[in-house]
Structure 1
Amino acid sequence: MTTASLHIFVPTAIRGLMARLGPRLDAAAGRPVTQIIDLNPRIPERIAAGEAFDIGLTNPEYVPALIASRHVDATTHRPFGRVPLAVGCRAGAKAEPLRHAPAIADLFRRADSIAYTGAGTSGRIFLDAVARLGLSDTLRPKSRPMGGGEPVASVVAGDTELAVAPLSTILSTPGLAPAAVFPGDFATDIDMSIFLNSAAGPGAASVISVLTASALDDELAAAGVTRFDFD
């Protein structure tokens, strides 16, 4: 096995899933695969700034600029997965999460505090959804922007009542349960695509093959991630 590791940018939203897949990625690459965790909007910034990487995952809208700047091989860009925006609460009595926008609006109105990732894709989508629900003024005093991974941690610790985060994050956080999942027709899903550096090292293409194979679909679905196609 080649000992020099490959480097893959991984969005915070799927860090739990990717940690579980780590040994399979190492085996596919024939070398260690180092996962670099960051918020979706930060990943293209780091790539554009010249940070070394072999494989990247982030929101697809950021990728055309990286292709144009020759940081990304256009022929390798493909869909990875779609994650619904969700609302997490401390785990308790098992209940089906709310899945309709009016019911989610009522949940927000009743909440004492709501945490979200201020600089993340999920935070931007949350604020847009709140505006479309007509709740911006109502929720502003009790909404708490935080750093990556902090909203769910604050709910588990009992410091905040609700956390708005990707469903994959909520499902992978011990002590947390989904109180609500935004419906797909509310334009709040978070898409992620995958690609290679134009100078990716040996084994990187094999890692992409594993991550995009249909054999992984059921495992992704259980983690809150579904497949999608580019429009």
Structure 2
Amino acid sequence: MTRMSITGISSMGTRQVLNDLACAYEAQSGQRVAIVSVGGVAAVRRIEAGEAFDIVVLASDAIDRLAASGHVDAASRVRIARSGVAIAVKAGARRPAIDDEAAVREAVLAARTIGYSTGPSGVYLTRLFERWGLAQRIASRIVQAPPGVAVGALIARGEVELGFQQLSEMIGVEGIDVLGMLPPAIQTQTVFEGAIGANASASKDARAFLAFLGSSDTDATKIEHGMEPVN
């Protein structure tokens, strides 16, 4: 008898790591896993509209929202990984200093265009620029990547001079230079969690896969993709 595939939805921040881990799990268990990765905002909308998935992998605040509304099983939540925010420029471009908060602020002021996402890192940066008193001053230079579009892609195309996004979404993007991480004083970590969908059709198999995602066996793959294990 052919086993049903585990179906899942995730944000783009975990697309690469989940693809590798799904392949590893299938090789290990024989269980197929099919995960679609879209912008986090779009993922939440699809789930809230009633679309059925066995597992949902999103930032913890999005899982909070879906658990509160009964769209995922709150008791099934598994912390998978976290990722900090990195800074990048176009490959070969001038590399501004980002050693401390003051240096990053100066780099933002000097940039012709500044890019961030609609996800958790973008929300955080909006607040950071407001705290710095720069929001109105740089408003005309902000380029927000559409949901599902990596900030790195906009940098590579020359649409963004200085870009911010989770390191997991910057790694492997051609045409950019990752300068490094936000300094510790202003760094933020997005924690990604998995949960069973309320309308899951393969919940038992999905629980086994979630347990695998949260296990130490997956640590090396997470690190390879710019994420930190949280188990």
Q: TM-score under structure 2 normalisation?
A: 0.85
1:46 is aligned to 46
Q: Distance in 2 between matches of 1:167 and 1:71?
A: 29
Q: Distance in 1 between matches of 2:45 and 2:78?
A: 20
Gaps of 5+ in 2: none
SS where residue 228 of structure 2 aligns? coil
1:186-209 Cα distance to aligned partner (Å, 9 max, x none) = 252222111112435042122112
Q: Distance in 2 between matches of 1:22 and 1:228?
A: 18
Q: Distance in 2 between matches of 1:16 and 1:43?
A: 16
SS where residue 177 of structure 1 aligns? strand
**Correspondences of 1:4-153 after superposition (within 5 Å):** 4-27=4-27, 30-92=30-92, 98-117=98-117, 119-147=118-146, 148-153=148-153
CA contact 2:54–2:196 (8 Å) conserved in 1: yes
Structure 1 runs of 4+ aligned residues shifted over 4 Å read none
User: Aligned-pair distance for 1:29?
Assistant: 5.8
Which deviates more, 193-202 or 168-177?
193-202
| Cα 1:2/1:126, change in 2 over 3 Å | farther
1:222 is aligned to 224
Give the length in aligned residue pairs: 228
SS where residue 84 of structure 1 aligns? strand
Q: Which amino acid aligns with 1:212?
A: G
CA contact 1:13–1:169 (8 Å) conserved in 2: yes
Identical counterparts, % of pairs: 24
| Cα 1:27/1:204, change in 2 over 3 Å | farther
Q: Distance in 1 between matches of 2:21 and 2:99?
A: 29
SS where residue 63 of structure 1 aligns? helix
1:164 is aligned to 164
| Cα 1:112/1:136, change in 2 over 3 Å | same
User: Aligned-pair distance for 1:4?
Assistant: 3.3
Q: Distance in 2 between matches of 1:100 and 1:143?
A: 21
Gaps of 5+ in 1: none
Q: Distance in 1 between matches of 2:99 and 2:60?
A: 25
**Correspondences of 1:175-190 after superposition (within 5 Å):** 175-186=175-186, 188-190=188-190
CA contact 2:96–2:107 (8 Å) conserved in 1: no
User: Aligned-pair distance for 1:130?
Assistant: 1.3
1:88-120 Cα distance to aligned partner (Å, 9 max, x none) = 112349x89835221111111121112222x32
Q: Note the aligned Cα RMSD (angstroms).
A: 2.6
User: Aligned-pair distance for 1:212?
Assistant: 0.8
Q: Distance in 2 between matches of 1:174 and 1:25?
A: 28
Q: Distance in 2 between matches of 1:123 and 1:209?
A: 30
SS where residue 115 of structure 2 aligns? strand
